[in-house]
Amino acid sequence: RVDGARLMNDIHSTSEWGKGERWGDADTEIGMSRLSLSDTDKQARDWFHKTTTALGCKVHVDAMGNQFAVRPGLDNEAPPTYAGSHLDTQPTGGRYDGILGVTAAVEMLRVLNDNWVETAYPVGVVNWTNEEGARFPMSMTASGVWSGDIPLEKAHNLKSVIPANDTATMRSELERIGYLGDVPCSWEATRMAAHFELHIEQGPILEAENRRIGVVQGVQSYKWFTVTVRGRDAHTGATSFQHRADALLTASKMILASHKLATQHGALASTGILNLKPGSTNTVPGFVQFSLDIRAPDNETVGKTEAACKSAFSALAAGQDVVDIQTGCAPSSRQCTVDWRTDFVSPATHFHDDCISCVQAAAQDLCGSSGDEADAEVKGRDIGRWGKLMTSGAGHDTVYANKRCPASMIFVPCRDGVSHNPSEYSSPEQCVDGANVLLGAVVRYDRL
């Protein structure tokens, strides 16, 4: 069993690097703003290196800055069983998303050491680079390079999405903070027997159903796009609606249309970034660029929603009233143009049965020993009232890991399903539950 105080101390002490917005009065009621490859990300990485080295691991860094710490087993010819996640956060994120997964994996190393556990094979802990995709606009970038799905050069050349002065690329930032490692970033250079990841659910289901553990079977499909709308800069006071090609009005209609169409298709559509030019109160914007994130349980639904948005956006740019979006203004004699760029594709993922079984068994172990539900019906994939088999709405590095080795994940509830928000919160008990299941799953897989 993990040491809860030690785990929580790791979470909160490392969260000093990259503190974000305060949301409550307590010492730890402060969110995180630790963008990938920033100065504070470097501090968190240095901690990871120092701590895992001190725990007896051999640590290496690859060409994407991924950090791998390996604790030897009895047979060190075979690849390690890994636990891990990421230490980067959203610009206004919380202290659990990613951080819980890495600190729980480090805590796992401590428990193994304290108890003089000799695993059959090595056990590893990994900190993946730029999982969030918040600064460099591909999520799970560096696990994607590791799995061979994202070309190294493409990832290295990714530019920061933050407008104005951040002209950095992933490669320039890896160099700047000293984390451009010399090991190739690939599943062949850094082999894994399996990959387990503990994460907060980031959704409301476990909490609503009062479940302690989510046994994650897979991740929904998603795609990211950058949509560019071009119109014509014009004077707001001297240009009639009819003479305008208003890129922002058109983008507003597109955002509304994407929500309508996603709802119709049973998908999600979201815009998190929007930049415009020139940005003056009395100039109709001639240029707008926005992100579009489309998600659904299966690839087909994402594809259909994408196609529906593409055709609606073209019609809206041409000034037509589609999907019931009416301006009520005199139709403009001028049109906008619209361009799409696909930034990122993450197909629906199904995790590996062996790993799901290990998580399930570890969850049964935890929940079975937790009192009045000890007699919960345990048959097949039913893990009783304390656990739930589920699919993740968010992407995770385990999606890419799963392409090259057996993998799966563990979810713990988070308050009100809130994530990517400073006030994201899981209680110490919930964090400890998850860490115990992670430990149990890794040890089980090692035996397997």
Ligand X SMILES: NC(=O)NCCC(=O)O
Q: And the tokens for 93? A: 């994120």
Q: Is the dihedral of CA 323, 327, 332, 335 positive or negative?
A: negative
- Measured from the CB of residue 80, what is the shortest distance to a second copy in angstroms? 29
Do residues 97 and 200 lie in contact, with contact meaning Cβ atoms separated by under 8 Å?
Answer: yes
Tell me if 343 contacts ligand X by CB under 6 A.
Answer: no
Residue whose CB is less far from a second copy, 244 or 444: 244
Do residues 124 and 80 lie in contact, with contact meaning Cβ atoms separated by under 8 Å?
Answer: yes
Half-sphere exposure of 393 (CA within 13 A, CB side): 15
If contact means CB under 5 to 8 A according to the sort of partner, which of ligand X, a second copy, none does residue 418 touch? a second copy
Tell me if 29 contacts a second copy by CB under 8 A.
Answer: no
Helix axes 4-14, 99-114, angle to 10 degrees: 140
If contact means CB under 5 to 8 A according to the sort of partner, which of a second copy, ligand X, none does residue 153 touch? none
Tell me if 159 contacts a second copy by CB under 8 A.
Answer: no
If contact means CB under 5 to 8 A according to the sort of partner, which of ligand X, a second copy, none does residue 396 touch? ligand X
Tell me if 294 contacts ligand X by CB under 6 A.
Answer: no
Answer for which of 41, 88, 132, 207 binds ligand X (CB under 6 A) is 132
Answer for which of 396, 401, 434, 435 binds ligand X (CB under 6 A) is 396
Q: And the tokens for 351? A: 């995790």
Q: Which residue has the tokens 């090595």?
A: 122
Answer for which of 41, 62, 97, 246 binds ligand X (CB under 6 A) is 97
Q: Is 95 buried (19+), middle (13-18) or exposed (0-12) by CB count in 10 A?
A: buried
Helix axes 428-447, 4-14, angle to 10 degrees: 110
Contact map string, positions 189 to 208, toward ligand X, x by CB under 6 A: -------------x------
Tell me if 278 contacts a second copy by CB under 8 A.
Answer: yes
Tell me if 233 contacts a second copy by CB under 8 A.
Answer: yes
Which of positions 379-398 make contact with a second copy (CB under 8 A)? 392-395
If contact means CB under 5 to 8 A according to the sort of partner, which of a second copy, ligand X, none does residue 343 touch? a second copy
The CA distance from 220 to 297, in Å, is 4
Residue whose CB is less far from a second copy, 157 or 236: 236
The CA distance from 421 to 297, in Å, is 24
Q: Which residue has the tokens 């000034």?
A: 319
Site residues (vs ligand X, CB under 6 A): 97, 131-133, 139, 202, 235, 237, 282, 394-396
